Structure 1
Amino acid sequence: PRVVAGGRQSYRGKLSLAEAEARIKTHWEPYHLLLAELMDTSKQLFGQAILIDCHSMPHEAIDSLCRGRAQKPEIVLGDRFGAAASSDIVDEIEAAFRAEGLKVARNTPFAGAYTTQTYGRPARNRHAIQIEIDRALYMNERAITPNGNFAAMQAMLTRISARICEIGRPQELPLAAE
């Protein structure tokens, strides 16, 4: 994006058309071709594909977009209001974050964007969930450096990721016939 939270410009100046086209050709297109291939492979191997599109959100965005709310979310799960992932999968992801004591919202203020819209097809067992994480949980946003909670947040996200990786797996392996 050209503009980020608080109306700040992403770049010092405008990109030339040639530079923008070069970035699309060398970065964006190969990334999405590979992502589509990975979704196809996962669906073939496991009967389903779950794409996690993880982002960090500026704390000020939460403050400004969630004015008037008693509890502001620390995590926002975006499934395009059910169009990009089955509610069962999103429920499990939400439970993983809540089990760690985090405040979670769905689709507000971020419902998911291009990636969730493009790859999420729950009727075809292709699920895409955007996860927005409040940067203030792990970062001094002014200095853009880790804060005192960084290591704890890293460990927490490792546990949550492990739970998410278990979604859809059989709880027990069947016994082999003797």
Structure 2
Amino acid sequence: MIEVVRGDSPLVLGLPHTGTRIPDDVLSRLNATGQAMADTDWHIDRLYDGLLAGTTTVRTPIHRYVIDVNRDPAGISLYPGQNTTTLCPLTDFDGSPIYRPGMEPDAGEIARRRESYHAPYHVALTAELERLRAVHGFAILYDCHSIRSHIPFLFDGILPDFNIGTNSGTTCALGLERCVQDICAGATDYSHVVNGRFKGGWTTRHYGRPTEGLHAIQMELAQSTYMEETPPWTWAPDKAHALRRPLTEILTTLKNWSPA
């Protein structure tokens, strides 16, 4: 069941990776690494909760190891030539297998998961964006993500705190991207980058059609900004409280933004 909370502003928050539900038939096939679910976007729904009234949220409770709703349903890589995880991941972000030997999903199983979990999330997300575009003439998707700040398998060094993705400026109006960038730059306790290692996943790229009144932007936060990055992935109240201030400013600006 996709979880939708409706608001009346043009802003929609996507929550594709906060779910921790893994069906029993999948869980029994995962090894200890897979069952640890290390690559969850831990606490992101909590971090954004209550920041701004009037926003719509769309969340799947299914864990990304079952199927990643932010990947191309056709299985095409978003980052050719770079290490990444697939539609139905076989490894975690460190490149370690997550399935017991011989228990990986085959093509038929991937198709079933796509129909059961990937498609319903995007049906719900599409419906909310279309609902709000019909009211306001446009809609903005802000896709909420987080990741550990140091993952050598995926990127070198330490990830910036705010990672803004617009697929090189193609998924939203330039002014909207600039607004978010300016807020991040003004949050002097944090680092930021625009279209660095994370340029926006399939969701951002699929829905971001600014000439049609659909704007999409991905925010990938370094988890070090609001939590402990080792098990048991503990929420850090003081860090999270501080981070909620620039996030509130970002969401407020997006909510009040309108095309020129």
Deviation at 1:107, TM superposition (A): 0.9
Residue of 116, 129, 148 corresponding to 1:39: 129
Counterpart in the other structure of 1:23: 113
Q: For this pair of structures, how many residues does the alignment match?
A: 166
Q: Which stretch shows the higher mean deviation, 30-39 or 138-147?
A: 138-147
State the one-letter code of the partner of 2:219. Answer: I
Distance 1:15 1:36, change over 3 A: same
Distance 1:51 1:156, change over 3 A: farther
Give the 3-state SS of the residue equivalent to 2:196 in structure 1: coil
Q: Residues 138 and 146 of structure 1 are in contact (CA less than 8 Å); yes or no, is this contact kept in structure 2?
A: no
Matched, 1:90 2:177: yes
Residue of 140, 151, 155 corresponding to 2:237: 151
Matched, 1:122 2:210: yes
User: Distance between the aligned counterparts of 1:26 and 1:63, measured in 2?
Assistant: 30
Deviation at 1:84, TM superposition (A): 0.6
Distance 1:112 1:137, change over 3 A: same
Give the 5 Å matches for 1:90-109.
90-100=177-187, 101-109=189-197
User: Distance between the aligned counterparts of 1:21 and 1:63, measured in 2?
Assistant: 27
Matched, 1:169 2:259: no
Deviation at 1:18, TM superposition (A): 4.5
Deviation at 1:17, TM superposition (A): 4.1
Counterpart in the other structure of 1:76: 163
User: What's the TM-score, normalizing by structure 1?
Assistant: 0.78
Counterpart in the other structure of 1:55: 145
Question: What are the Cα deviations for residues 3-31 of structure 1, in whole angstroms up to 9, with x where unaligned?
Answer: 33221234444124444333222211111
Distance 1:38 1:82, change over 3 A: same
Q: Residues 225 and 239 of structure 2 are in contact (CA less than 8 Å); yes or no, is this contact kept in structure 1?
A: yes
Q: Percent identity?
A: 23
Give the 3-state SS of the residue equivalent to 1:45 in structure 2: helix
Which structure has the bigger radius of gyration? Answer: 1
Q: Residues 62 and 72 of structure 1 are in contact (CA less than 8 Å); yes or no, is this contact kept in structure 2?
A: no
**By percentage of residues, which structure has more strand?**
1
RMSD over aligned Cα atoms? 2.7
Distance 1:93 1:46, change over 3 A: same
Distance 1:87 1:139, change over 3 A: same
Question: What are the Cα deviations for residues 72-129 of structure 1, in whole angstroms up to 9, with x where unaligned?
Answer: 5111111000111112111111223333332110111111121011100112221111
Deviation at 1:42, TM superposition (A): 1.6
**By percentage of residues, which structure has more helix?**
1
Q: Residues 159 and 222 of structure 2 are in contact (CA less than 8 Å); yes or no, is this contact kept in structure 1?
A: no
Q: Residues 89 and 167 of structure 1 are in contact (CA less than 8 Å); yes or no, is this contact kept in structure 2?
A: yes
Counterpart in the other structure of 1:174: none
Unmatched tracts of structure 2, length 5 or more: 1-85
State the one-letter code of the partner of 1:79. Answer: T
